[in-house]
Structure 1
Amino acid sequence: MRMWADNAIDIATGRWRLWLLAAVCVAELAHLVWEHLHGGIVSHHLLARPDLPAIWNGWGLVLLPALAWFASGRVSRRIAASRDPRRAGARVAIGAAAGLLTGALLSAAFVQGREDLAGAVLLAAVALGVLLPAFRAECVFGFVVAMTFVFGAFLPLLIGSVVAAVSALAHRGVYPLVWRLWKRTRHPATGRVRS
């Protein structure tokens, strides 16, 4: 009976991942068709500088489904491994919502011509990534999805990857090292002779 329940969970998870993948594909295809019918599929220059290469928005049809599949797999494994799946699911929803909100604010600032505000939102995202685990797949996925309709998928994925890398460095590298050093100074090994 337990084996059947485990298989049912795997099937439901697989269906959820397939539905997410299909929704992302349909949304990105609709976005690209809309762009095509309104002057052509747009390309965006790196750092908004015409002397740097331009990235075609059509790449979103490859990048977004790949990111959706990767993120949903990571989320499914994390929830399945959790002792409290509901709590893990709530954390996933909060992370995805935070990514969506950050991406939407950044996109809105650029559309309004407020590069100063966009810079402040980006710096705030990096700072929050140092404090909170913004390296998680759902955060990056939400960020990229929210920015795709303004910038395509490649540039938001690049920016989100930098924010995620800073966050991962802080949470997986710096914080554990500081914690170990703090524990070592608070509780030195017993039996050692100090000179």
Structure 2
Amino acid sequence: MNHFTKIQFYIIGIVSIAIWGLLGWNYFHGGVPSHHILAREDLPKFSNWWGGILLPLLTWLVLLRIQKREKLNEKQALNLSNFPQKIIYGFVGALMYGILLALLFTFKFNEILGYFFPSVMILALFYPIYRAECLLGFVIGMTFTFGAVLPTGIGSIISIIGFLIYNLIRPAILFVGNFLKNLIA
């Protein structure tokens, strides 16, 4: 077993302990909540118990994806200075975004929440928010408030939209901008 695989097991273990600790705490303090899709009672609801399976599985899949995408070898995994910083920045940024979004929802700052979705779409023009580490950070950031199922679904939709913006709309804007720049010059 190489070093990166050991790190993956440690990270998955930490996430598993955290989610099961949260579920245990919820169970003994009023019960494990369930959440309706889009907070509408006429739509289906999901129990936070599903997060005990989903979050470790998502973490495992994300770590596999990162390893494959970045072609990380054991030497890079051993030395954090060689580890791609963009992965850490993407994860932490999405984690902070998820936490802030959950806090705004919890404290009912609905007028500010209305700006969050458009702002992340603008961010998608400049940064690849569709990457796996961003999805995981977003889901973990929102898990305490919403469980893991709804943030995974919403995060997946945001990732797809972010992929389209970054890989289709952004190049089109850059092409038109370069065309106009060359036309004027």
- Please indicate the TM-score interval, normalised by the length of the shorter structure: 0.7 to 0.9
- Say if 2:121 and 2:165, in contact at 8 Å, map to a contact too: no
Q: Distance in 2 between matches of 1:87 and 1:129?
A: 26
1:129 aligns with 2:92: no
Q: Per the alignment, do residues 12 and 123 of structure 1 end up closer, same or farther by CA in structure 2, a change over 3 Å counting?
A: same
The CA deviation at 1:63 is: 1.1
Long gaps (5+) in structure 2:
none
SS at match of 2:158: helix
SS at match of 2:69: helix
1:34 aligns with 2:25: yes
Q: Find the counterpart in structure 2 of residue 74 from structure 1.
A: 65
TM-score, scaled to structure 2: 0.84
Long gaps (5+) in structure 1:
1-9, 188-195
Q: Distance in 2 between matches of 1:183 and 1:175?
A: 12
Q: Per the alignment, do residues 116 and 185 of structure 1 end up closer, same or farther by CA in structure 2, a change over 3 Å counting?
A: closer
Q: Which has the greater radius of gyration? A: 1
Q: Distance in 2 between matches of 1:176 and 1:143?
A: 25
- Say if 2:51 and 2:148, in contact at 8 Å, map to a contact too: yes
The CA deviation at 1:51 is: 1.1
SS at match of 1:134: coil
Q: Distance in 2 between matches of 1:13 and 1:75?
A: 11
- Say if 1:78 and 1:88, in contact at 8 Å, map to a contact too: no
TM-score, scaled to structure 1: 0.80
Over the aligned positions, Cα root-mean-square deviation in angstroms equals: 2.5
Q: Find the counterpart in structure 2 of residue 150 from structure 1.
A: 145
- Say if 1:106 and 1:122, in contact at 8 Å, map to a contact too: no
Query: Which has the higher relative contact order, 1 or 2, with Cα contacts under 8 A spaced 6 or more apart?
Result: 2
Q: Bigger CA drift: 28-37 or 72-81?
A: 72-81
1:104 aligns with 2:99: yes
The size of the alignment, in residue pairs, is 176
Q: How does 1:1-195 map to 2 (within 5 A)?
A: 11-80=2-71, 86=81, 89-176=84-171
Q: Bigger CA drift: 142-151 or 71-80?
A: 71-80
The CA deviation at 1:145 is: 0.2
The CA deviation at 1:121 is: 2.1
- Say if 2:131 and 2:159, in contact at 8 Å, map to a contact too: yes
| 1:65 maps to amino acid | P
The CA deviation at 1:116 is: 2.0
Q: Distance in 2 between matches of 1:185 and 1:128?
A: 23
